[in-house]
């Protein structure tokens, strides 16, 4: 064995093979006969699918069975769709079944797939072609059989959810050869006389053969050409027809289609009650705001008589102010005139002459009196002057005990002790004679 070759464990190999199988065979169809059917307590079903020369183990799990009504028995020929896998624990090669139907439907299934691929290529199932359904339809059209259970389910649902809507039924066959032409005719008629806001195309469940009119190309194209939104509620949830893919909305069941096109009246009632409450609050708030505005305006609005009185008072104030201004101006003029008169009077030559005359007379009187005093007592005058001179004489001051100190050398008058030194000789001039002094101590006066 070469070193670069990988050695698998059994688990690794089975796991890798399982992944390869599931990746390359995710969805295949296999036709054969059921044998060795086993139904354990778990609810799963295990059987062998065989033909003349080979067999294939199959596992049909309980969750997948809930969506299918096909009968499974030993010995019947079936068409099975699923993915290939490997049960790793035992190494069993098996088909995990997703869908099972009688083998007779195989031809229809191939026709279904071929037409589906063709219409997909033409873009008839593109979401851009889908129309919006109205939220509150006035008239709802129903294209279905009047004898089936689907019509009763739809009508009861419409009445329960939205009883005010008008309902227009287009009765057609929903299976058989004539069904295709009747469905196409009903779609064309509804669009020719567009009284409906939305159309429900519906029927109950059934086999692929029963549902085949809804896979016809003419029906699919009529749905795509409809200017009225089409809601499909065909068969059960697992039944997917080409009409479902072409419709503007695909509902799982007829009842679901009726629920989709109508609002719930209880929700509408609640919504209307909410709108009414909000409208009431809005109106109350509006009136409250307007009342506040009225109150504000009423406070600002004044009676004409009151405004007239205010204007009259303002006029009186203006008159008083004008009178006061005029009086004040006249008073100021009078005062200015008086001051000017006084200044003019002061500057008048007559007044100046009069003042000078009075001054001259006063001076003349004083001079005459002075003259008389000098002429009448000259001795007294001389004595008075002599007394004054004697009082101011330095000798008179010395007579009272004062002395004049002079420096002996320079003869300068000493007026401050700081100019004298200890041991210096000074001359003290008295009223009668002189003294020569020697300085022993100096006491400066602070």
Quote the pLDDT of residue 404: 84
Picking from 128-132, 172-176, 204-208, 375-379, which range would have the lowest pLDDT averaged per residue? 375-379
Could you tell me which of 77, 75, 95 has the C-alpha nearest to residue 85?
Answer: 95
210 and 247 co-located in one domain: yes
| CA–CA separation, 405 and 411 (whole Å) | 9
Query: Could you say which of 265, 285, 309 is where a domain stops?
Result: 265
Query: Could you say which of 207, 233, 265 is where a domain stops?
Result: 265
Per DSSP, what are the bridge partners of residue 96? Answer: 59, 83
49 and 147 co-located in one domain: no
92 and 159 co-located in one domain: no
Mean pLDDT over all residues of the chain?
A: 85
Quote the pLDDT of residue 434: 85
33 and 146 co-located in one domain: no
Residue 118's alpha-carbon distances to 111, 127, 181, 360, in angstroms, are: 11, 17, 21, 150
Number of structural domains, the chain?
A: 4
Look at 348 and 286; give whichever has higher pLDDT.
286
Tally of CB atoms within 10 A around 80: 23
Decide: 185 and 215 in contact? Cβ < 8 Å. no
| CA–CA separation, 298 and 312 (whole Å) | 23
Assign 228 a pLDDT band (cuts: 50, 70, 90): very high
Instruction: Give the pLDDT confidence of 104-114 residue by residue, as tens digits.
Output: 666 677 788 88
Phi, psi of 164 (to 5 degrees): -80, -10
Q: What is the pTM of this model?
A: 0.47
Give the range of the structural domain holding residue 240, as residue numbers without chain letter.
123-265
Could you tell me which of 42, 136, 31 has the C-alpha nearest to residue 76?
Answer: 31
Assign 70 a pLDDT band (cuts: 50, 70, 90): low
92 and 191 co-located in one domain: no
90 and 127 co-located in one domain: no
156 and 255 co-located in one domain: yes
Instruction: Give the pLDDT confidence of 279-328 residue by residue, as tens digits.
Output: 998 998 888 888 888 878 777 777 778 778 888 888 888 888 887 788 77
127 and 191 co-located in one domain: yes
Per DSSP, what are the bridge partners of residue 48? Answer: 35, 57
Could you tell me which of 257, 249, 253, 218 has the C-alpha nearest to residue 239?
Answer: 253
In the sheet where 404-407 sits, what is the strand order? 404-407, 425-429, 434-438
Assign 184 a pLDDT band (cuts: 50, 70, 90): very high
Residue 157 pLDDT > 90, yes or no?
yes
Give percent of the chain with pLDDT exceeding 90: 30
Quote the pLDDT of residue 107: 66
Query: Could you say which of 107, 142, 162 is where a domain stops?
Result: 107
Decide: 232 and 202 in contact? Cβ < 8 Å. yes
Per DSSP, what are the bridge partners of residue 200? Answer: 142, 231
Tokens (6 digits) for 362: 């006063």
Could you tell me which of 216, 131, 146, 137 has the C-alpha nearest to residue 181?
Answer: 216
Is 65 contained in some domain? Answer: yes
Look at 277 and 148; give whichever has higher pLDDT.
277
Is 5 contained in some domain? Answer: no
Q: On the CB side of 106, how many CA atoms lie within 13 Å of its CA?
A: 13
245 and 129 co-located in one domain: yes
3-state secondary structure 112-150: HHHHHHHHHHHCCCCHHHCCCCCCCCCEEEEEECCCCHH
């Amino acid at each position: 064995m070469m070193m670069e070759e990988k050695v698998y464990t059994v688990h690794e190999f089975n796991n890798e093979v399982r992944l390869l199988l599931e990746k390359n065979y995710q969805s295949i169809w296999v036709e054969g006969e059921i044998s060795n059917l086993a139904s354990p307590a778990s609810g799963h079903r295990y059987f062998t699918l065989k033909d003349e020369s080979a067999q294939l183990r199959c596992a049909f799990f309980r969750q997948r069975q809930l969506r299918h009504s096909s009968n499974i028995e030993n010995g019947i020929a079936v068409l099975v769709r699923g993915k290939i896998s490997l049960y790793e624990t035992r190494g069993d090669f098996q088909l995990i079944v997703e869908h099972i139907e009688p083998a007779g439907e195989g031809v229809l299934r191939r026709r279904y797939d071929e037409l589906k691929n063709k219409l997909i290529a033409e873009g008839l199932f593109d979401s851009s072609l889908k129309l919006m359904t109205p939220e509150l339809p006035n008239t709802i059209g129903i294209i279905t059989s009047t004898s089936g259970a689907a019509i009763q389910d739809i009508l009861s649902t419409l009445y329960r959810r939205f009883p005010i809507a008008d309902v227009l039924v287009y009765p057609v066959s929903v299976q058989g050869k004539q069904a295709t032409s009747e469905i196409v005719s009903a779609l064309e008629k509804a669009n020719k006389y567009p009284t409906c806001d939305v159309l429900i195309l519906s029927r109950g469940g059934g086999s692929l053969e029963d549902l085949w009119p809804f896979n016809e190309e003419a029906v699919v194209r009529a749905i795509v050409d409809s200017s009225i939104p089409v809601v499909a509620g065909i068969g059960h949830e697992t039944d997917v027809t080409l009409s479902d893919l072409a419709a503007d909305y695909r509902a799982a069941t007829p009842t679901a289609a009726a629920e989709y096109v109508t609002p719930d009246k209880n929700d509408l009632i609640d919504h209307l009650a909410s709108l009414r409450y909000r409208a009431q609050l809005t109106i109350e708030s509006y009136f409250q705001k307007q009342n506040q505005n009225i109150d504000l305006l009423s406070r600002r609005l004044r009676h004409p008589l009151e405004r007239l009185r205010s204007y009259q008072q303002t006029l009186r104030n203006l008159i008083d102010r004008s009178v006061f201004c005029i009086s004040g101006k006249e008073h100021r003029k009078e005062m200015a005139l008086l001051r000017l008169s006084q200044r003019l009077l002061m500057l008048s030559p007559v007044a100046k002459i009069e003042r000078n005359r009075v001054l001259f007379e006063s001076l003349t009187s004083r001079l005459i009196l002075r003259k008389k005093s000098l002429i009448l007592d000259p001795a007294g005058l001389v004595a008075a002057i002599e007394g004054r001179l004697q009082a101011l004489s330095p000798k008179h001051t010395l007579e009272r005990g004062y002395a004049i100190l002079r420096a002996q050398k320079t003869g300068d008058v000493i007026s401050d002790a700081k100019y004298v030194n200890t041991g210096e000789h000074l001359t003290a001039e008295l009223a009668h004679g002189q003294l020569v002094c020697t300085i022993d101590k100096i006491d400066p006066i602070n």
